Amino acid sequence: MGKYFGTDGVRGVANQELTPELAFRLGRFGAYILTRGQKEQQPKIVVGRDTRLSGSMLESALIAGIASIGVNVIRLGVISTPGVAFLTRHLKADAGVMISASHNAFPDNGIKFFGADGFKLSDKTEAEIEELLDQKEDHLPRPVGDQLGRIEDYPDALHDYINHLKGTIDTDLCGMQIIVDGANGAAYKAAPMLLRELGADVITMNVQPDGVNINVKCGSTHPEQLSKEVLQKEADLGLAFDGDADRLIAVDEKGNVIDGDQIMAICANFLKETGELTNNTVVCTVMSNIGFFKAMEELGIRTEQTKVGDRYVMEKMREGGACLGGEQSGHVIFLKHNTTGDGLLTAVQLLRVMKEKGETLYNLSKIMTQYPQLLVNVKVKCKDNWEQNAAIQEKIKEVEEKLGSEGRVLVRPSGTEPLIRVMAEGPDPEQLQAYVNEIAAVIDQQLNENE
């Protein structure tokens, strides 16, 4: 991660850390880096945003910065992050920009860039933008007259994106009753529209954004109310998106929450049966449930692991030619159809499996047993060199031996905070609590008390 760019763009509290001034400079410098060498015609960049109150403010500043460098802007309005990735390619733009802080609370916002290929930027390209941000003076070109960038709206953005998603399956959803939780975010209009056009009976909740209610006790991070609604309405399933709709968490007809691991397991098995699972491989992160790994092993499907973050999943997928990957949090990537995690696309693919197999989501989810998982964060003075600490490593090894093949331990530092995260999985929750507490105590003693 760089000085400004994290694992998912530049984020911060809007108008405090992520200011309009910074948005202007990001637009200006990002457009310069991403369109340099384009001389045949005036380059263009597409820009989308979620429903946050600060979105319009940051959009105006960002677009002004892009136009000031002589690059045209196609303004998409409220649309999902994967919608921006798709439309960047679909409209043959030189880059795409999404203004969103995903599942974060509404005071936060973020700016993330996509290259002309629809993929997130490389660390090298982000570093080039950061280098310009750190310069004391701006010496980049300032075109005048008819060389300024033009700004236009694209009213067909949702229509084009929804048509693309509909084209990824060969079946309709007639006869299915689905409850959609739009998180008062980017999917509030697109998700119900997509599913209704595919023939589903759709009931909506949290699809009335007011600028401040995005992600508030709703969506993929808070599916509790959706579970109650599914049971009350006796629906076939519920679908919960996050603020920028790149995640999906589902709820089966019995009210059980179905996370990203379970969705990947269901889809991986189906794609293997239909001969569509390239290289017989699924890419996941180290945080995937042990039950996911056991299920894939039993099905004869190979898994590859990465560190936490959908960008790392994508990198591994591209390296190895995998078509399916994702995270437990609900970021699921179907690389054949889009270049980033896509909640709406994941919903359509999951519904395809249900429809073509004639199975309920509850029955499909039995493909894997979800092991209890316990996570504890230990605040430390310094998280460096914890792996070289003999006492910590000895305690981890001791717990791993006790769990054997029926569980596992994962200890890792936070990427952004002074924390060491201790996660354990196994069949007995009380036992896990004791094991995690033991490891956490040793970490605290070694990295805090002994300092």
In which band, very low, low, confident or very high, does the pLDDT at 413 lie, cut at 50, 70 and 90?
confident
Q: Domains in the chain, ordered, with CATH?
A: 10-155 (3.40.120.10), 160-365 (3.40.120.10), 373-449 (3.30.310.50)
In the predicted structure, residue 103 carries a pLDDT above the cut 70: yes
Mean of pLDDT values over 214-223: 96
Q: What is the pLDDT of residues 172-181, one digit of tens each?
A: 999 999 999 9
Name the more confident of 416 and 356: 356
pLDDT for 451 equals 59
Helix H or strand E segment including 304: strand 302-306
Q: CA 339 → CA 3, 34, 118, 324, 395, distances in Å?
A: 25, 18, 6, 11, 41
For residue 330, give the nearest of 111, 115, 107, 181 by alpha carbon: 181
> Is residue 270 over pLDDT 70?
yes
Per-residue pLDDT averaged across 109-121, rounded? 96
CA 31, CA 272: separation in Å to the nearest integer?
41
What was the pLDDT predicted at 230? 98
Can you say whether the dihedral through the CA atoms of 214, 219, 222, 224 is positive or negative? positive
pLDDT of residue 404: 87
Is residue 310 within 8 A of residue 327, CB to CB? The reply is yes
Strand partners for 402: none
Residues in the chain: 451
On the question of pLDDT at 39 being above 80, the answer is: no
For residues 77-106, give the mean pLDDT.
96
Q: How many CB atoms lie within 10 A of CB 204?
A: 17
Judge whether 179 and 205 are in contact, CB under 8 Å: yes
Whole-prediction pTM: 0.92
Whether residue 102 lies in the annotated active site: yes
Nearest alpha carbon to residue 3 among 138, 123, 122: 123
Is residue 2 over pLDDT 70? no
Contact partners, residue 431, CB within 8 Å, separation at least 6: none
The count of other CB atoms within 10 Å of the CB of residue 135 is 10
In the predicted structure, residue 121 carries a pLDDT above the cut 70: yes
Tokens 């197999």 locate to 357
Structure token digits, residue 432: 């896990």
Kindly state the tokens that stand for 210.
């007011």
Question: Is the model's pLDDT at 450 over the cut of 70?
Answer: no
| Active-site residue, selected from the candidate residues 54, 68, 80, 102 | 102
Contact by Cβ (8 Å): 15, 54? yes
* pLDDT > 60? residue 1: no
Q: Which has the minimum average pLDDT: 53-57, 162-166, 370-374? A: 370-374
H helices within 175-333, ranges in order? 190-197, 224-233, 260-273, 290-299, 310-320
